[in-house]
A and B are shown apart, each in its own frame.
Chain A
């Protein structure tokens, strides 16, 4: 069921955050900060914006979703759980040896709906451009969404793809760029802003929104839907750990380590909408 009500979507995001914490809890590691920061965007994408199904086949109207940032799989699994595609046992196996609920993404890795093999960054936009280009040639009305993050804006391949996308007028390509201003070595080691201005210079429509504000996200997609002559990007400013103060406030929260005794506190801190 598609939701357009911000209050309902906040409840969805809340459930997703609980899934994220459930996955990460007790593991001492895992991308809990990123999973939490993504929840509002994933809630809107999977419960409101996209006409998505795990096996799109040749459906000309289906939207496709490419998660470029492999280690953000935790957010994807939480969305799949929300859609009933994964159960609690699946979530509990996150990152464990032999589990298909891996800490990255793998096409053909045993989870329906995973389009892209992630892990190596800067791959998603190019593959998304290929999908969108093929579908444009075939006259499909469905859109192709690519979720990428600010670190990937530093990859040259992202810009190769951005240039091609506007040249080919891929108006059914929508990039969701999650800017949390943190990368592997800490706070952005190479400034990426102004992301939206750069994209506009590359021939895209781009708008900045607060990626942890469901109302702003909905408005952003609504504005994007009115553009029909170029690829579109929502540059979404997010905060790692959003929705759980303890995680949010951790200084070192890339690949966050939470002591075993702290997980109960984290679970109780998942903020109600």
Chain B
């Protein structure tokens, strides 16, 4: 792809605004609460858009496009049964404790509810994971821009890192949130015309469906395998994902999605910055509205790409292949940008792509600097220092965190397996988390020992399960089976879902058993932290659309309708 003057102009305008926001907000960062929590003062619609934008990293845009091509509309399960119910749950049932307890981070909630060791375990594992995730996405961006534009790897990642560093360093969480909202709109405006043009090229929705029938039958599946999300979920052999409805609903819909949306500080931090309890509860609900339509923005282009590859449209687009002859699914969206967009619009599309990398990275960085400063530095390294000192530490942690991400991205270029291994370990650590929060918030008998050892047991169970199973066609090693192969799953996705189910169940059971034999905390200490001992937050907003419960029902209803339409 060749960039012209007008594309560069667009990119430069975007960078100027992103940095300008950081500069404009610098003078409002007076205390650590301003820097890490935006003074708890932001209206719900802003935190809501930031909530999804922080998650809308490049993995989402590129990855969902790739999955759309590989698996078709069934990819929308990540949204319509995955994200949406979990977002409703965190808003309605969990936010009262996160926000109401006045914890400043998710690990700090664990400290208040359980004990120091549970917080320490969560804080340290989260800090390490979030900084490496940011490194992994930098690495992905460096590779992509190198393939698309021929930019050098170092130039791409250093440019992104320095821009994110400047705006987070100056304006803290507020700057990250403002930019996430800006990036959200840019991503929507950058990709929407792509869907329009692609769909037109494929002969509209009807044309796309006929073409996808060819794709499905050519791959040996029933004719609607790419255009129906549930119909082919009866058995793992009948859909390209290789999963069946139970593993899908439990593994993805329950364990993985609730684990991510309800406990990951990267997203919860946005809600914690909202200006009132009602605004905090509405944050994930407002986020759920655009989120449920994202499949049309990120999955549909992938489906269009594969459809046009099997049966060419008027403009002759087709997916590129890798050296080994298989399709390079990850390039579905980037290649479509290059194919359909003329100079000008191409600049907007590529800037949107870069914006998605940056919003994801800034999300990681702000979550990291908060957990580092409050939960690690203030708790274990230097207690009782002045607020100015912690504010300074937050800025240093931003520099340090970004430096480590960049280093991790370079390490990934030499040892690709290390990144795969890290992601695997993250999955083991994350999978059981939701069991701990669920029990902690809704069963007052849960104890600190129970929570801690439950988490450890869940992580161990995940690694054992992974060590004993293998996806079909894989070799024992990083993909699993490194103890012995006891069971073969039809696909890697099925293996992931079941690893999560085993981890969650082990954590749930072990936490209950240990809690029953250890001493519970006094009920008076748990007020505001546990459901049965906390006053229900009143929906006192006057207008119906500002009430969390009303919003929740509407969001769930819409998700059900979408599931039925694309059944």
Chains A and B bind each other: no
Residue numbers of B with Cβ under 8 A of A are none
Residue numbers of A with Cβ under 8 A of B are none
